């Protein structure tokens, strides 16, 4: 089953509560929160306060994507604010296992995020300990960028590896996902699709969520 995670980075922040209620009633499976610190990526967005506010108004799982340096310092505040899944970039840490353990300490699902140009050997030995991998299909930092099809073979290879090991790990993709690009990532093995601009800039949230979920293969 394909899950859709609208990224609130593209939502109207002056009406955030309404936007969350709307994607919830239009079939979203979780809420994706993009946290940027101006160091790991050249943009600054939101922190635990926003997660805490969202937690009060939605029952959907909150999927926090940390694009920050030193993520280990911020696991506790994000966990206590009500995050359900916490992704961090392995490129941002020296000891990914320590961060995974910190996330688990608070009973949250640990996830590893991978930049488009990062290879995945560093996931070796970690896959048994995580609940999800997040493959970036744009360079992190901004919404509305163009999907990078060159990431597809990496997703496929990872899916084959976890299937061989019999591991049940969610494969999330993030960046440039729309009704045209979605089928390609689904075919490669992804089952959690993040979409920001494709949902929040559309006139009909329900139609865009369903067209991403049920996307048919097209050339990208
Ligand atoms: C990029 C973020 C994404 C982004 C998605 O750094 O991690 O979640 O906001 O936006 P779209 O779907 O517009 O590419
Ligand atoms: Zn994201």
Least confident of 37-46, 121-130, 182-191: 121-130
Which one of the listed residues 29, 37, 63, 174 is annotated catalytic? 174
Does an H or E element contain 27, and which? none
Assess contact for 185 and 193: CB atoms under 8 A: yes
Tokens of 176: 């440039």
Q: How is 136-170 classified by DSSP, letter by letter?
A: ESS-TT-SSPPP-GGGHHHHHHHHHHHHHHT---E
DSSP state of 54: H
**Quick check: CB of 174 below 6 Å from ligand 1?**
yes
- Which of 34, 54, 63, 60 lies closest to 46 in space, CA to CA? 34
Distance of CA 215 to the CA centre of its chain: 19
CA of 142 to the centre of ligand 1 (A): 6
Looking at ligand 1, which atom is closest to the CA of residue 195?
A: 12
What is the reported pLDDT for 217? 61
pLDDT of residue 110: 98
For ligand 1, what atom is nearest to the CA of residue 178? 12
Query: pLDDT tier at 120 (50, 70, 90 boundaries)?
Result: low
Residue 96, pLDDT > 60, answer: yes
- Is 163 tagged catalytic? no
pLDDT tens per residue, range 97-114 = 999 999 999 999 999 999
Tens of pLDDT, residue by residue over 13-40, are 999 999 999 999 999 999 999 999 999 9
pLDDT in tens, 37-95: 999 999 999 999 999 999 999 999 999 999 999 999 999 999 999 999 999 998 899 99
Among 135, 98, 102, residue whose Cα is nearest residue 120? 135
Residue-wise pLDDT for 135-149, tens only, equals: 999 999 999 999 999
pTM of the model: 0.96
As a whole number of angstroms, the distance between CA 139 and CA 145 comes to: 8
Per-residue confidence (pLDDT) for residue 84, from 0 to 100: 98
Mark whether 34 is an active-site residue: yes
């Amino acid at each position: 089953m394909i899950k859709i995670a609208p990224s609130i980075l593209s939502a109207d922040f002056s009406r955030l509560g309404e936007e969350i209620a709307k994607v919830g009633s239009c079939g979203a499976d979780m809420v994706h929160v993009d946290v940027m610190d101006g160091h790991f990526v050249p943009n600054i967005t939101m922190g635990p306060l926003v997660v805490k506010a969202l937690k009060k108004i939605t029952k959907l799982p909150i999927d926090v994507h940390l694009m920050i340096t030193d993520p280990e310092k911020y696991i506790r505040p994000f966990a206590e604010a009500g995050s359900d899944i916490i992704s961090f970039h392995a490129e941002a840490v020296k000891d990914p296992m320590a961060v995974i353990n910190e996330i688990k300490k608070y009973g949250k699902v640990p996830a590893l995020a991978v930049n488009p140009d990062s290879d995945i050997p560093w996931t070796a030995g970690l896959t048994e300990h995580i609940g999800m991998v997040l493959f970036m299909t744009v360079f992190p930092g901004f919404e509305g960028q163009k999907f990078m099809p060159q990431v597809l073979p990496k997703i496929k290879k990872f899916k084959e590896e976890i299937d061989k090991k019999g591991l049940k790990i969610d494969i999330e993709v993030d960046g440039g996902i729309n009704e045209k690009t979605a089928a390609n990532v689904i075919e490669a093995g992804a089952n959690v699709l993040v979409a920001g601009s494709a949902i929040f800039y559309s006139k009909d949230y329900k139609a865009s969520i369903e067209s991403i979920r049920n996307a048919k293969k097209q050339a990208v």
